[in-house]
Amino acid sequence: MAILVTGGTGFVGCNIVRTLAEGGGRVVSVDVAPAGELARRYVEPWKGAVSWVQCDILDLNALQQALEDHDITKIVHAAVYTGTRADIEKLDTHRIVNINTMGTANLLDLARRRQVERFLYVSSGGVYAGKRLADEPLREEMALFPINLYDITKYACEMLSKRYGDLHGFQTVSARLSAPYGPMERVTGHRAVMSLVYDWTGRALRGEAIDLSRTTPDRDFTYVQDTAAAIATVLDAPTLKHDVYNIGRGQKVSLDEMTAAMKRAHPGVRFTGETEASERPPAPRYGRGPMDISRLRELGYAPGHDIESGLKAYLAWRKEFSFLD
């Protein structure tokens, strides 16, 4: 028996592969990209539990053939084209829609054929986009009005997953991720927009100053290994009461909190553009609030890192792996 993880050489996917293998599961990673040295090194201690399969999820026949000898009982579908900037949307509109929706349809059809125990779709907090009060907690039952192609396709695939499972008799669940950061985030053919924490930690380790006048943290940042642990919790829960689960820390990180945590995590980090809170313009009334993770907590999950310990762990990984990009 094995768990299939799509996008398994990517940022979040590789952390899911590592976490599931570390927990004693057999994992099959499927990705259009080969498992490079960085990904293999990241899961090296559990390499005996991981099979790397290079395959395009848009080719259903090739996907079925590549997995023919694997007894897949659960699927985590994390493969995605993260084209969140308007210029990327405009340049690659059809490819974003095709990979994100048809790729999901192919994985759902594979799940139907295999009659898997559970299909977990890795969605995004981006589905909550729209005019919302900045401090309003984001709850799974909210009405959704996503705006960009990435967020629209994420929401569409949540609904596709639910309907496919209902029609064909297997359980599906969607996990909405909130601002993950940490090991294995890097530019790939399907990911070009890096997180703020990726930028800050890279600058700190390269000895470059961080310009605070050009940044606005204020997100529910979640250390990616906690994200992966939460996904494993949902995937392995004996029963699920809901079709959708938020995954995050449940708290937003302000500019002051992020700056202070960064100074403690990496003494000597340099900042420019610092201003007193009293001198700044009022905080925007509208924005993305923190995730409400009550449903996730009901499954027995609690985040393992606050922002400071997450930054320390991420910086330590960057140093160990000489990843200074």
SS3 282: coil
What pLDDT, on the 0 to 100 scale, is given for residue 85? Answer: 87
Along the chain (325 residues), what's the average pLDDT of each consecutive run of 10 residues? 97 98 97 96 98 97 96 97 88 94 98 97 94 87 94 97 98 97 89 88 96 81 98 98 97 93 97 76 76 97 97 98 94
- In one letter, which amino acid is 241? K
- CA 111 vs. chain centroid, Å, equals 21
In the DSSP assignment, the letter for residue 99 is: I
What pLDDT, on the 0 to 100 scale, is given for residue 133? Answer: 78
**Torsions phi, psi of 123, nearest 5?**
-100, -160
Q: Write out the two tokens for 286.
A: 């509208």
Question: Which has the closest alpha carbon to 194: 99, 82, 34?
Answer: 82
What pLDDT, on the 0 to 100 scale, is given for residue 285? Answer: 75
In the DSSP assignment, the letter for residue 32 is: S
pTM of full prediction above 0.85 = yes
Over the Cα atoms of the chain, what is R_g? 19
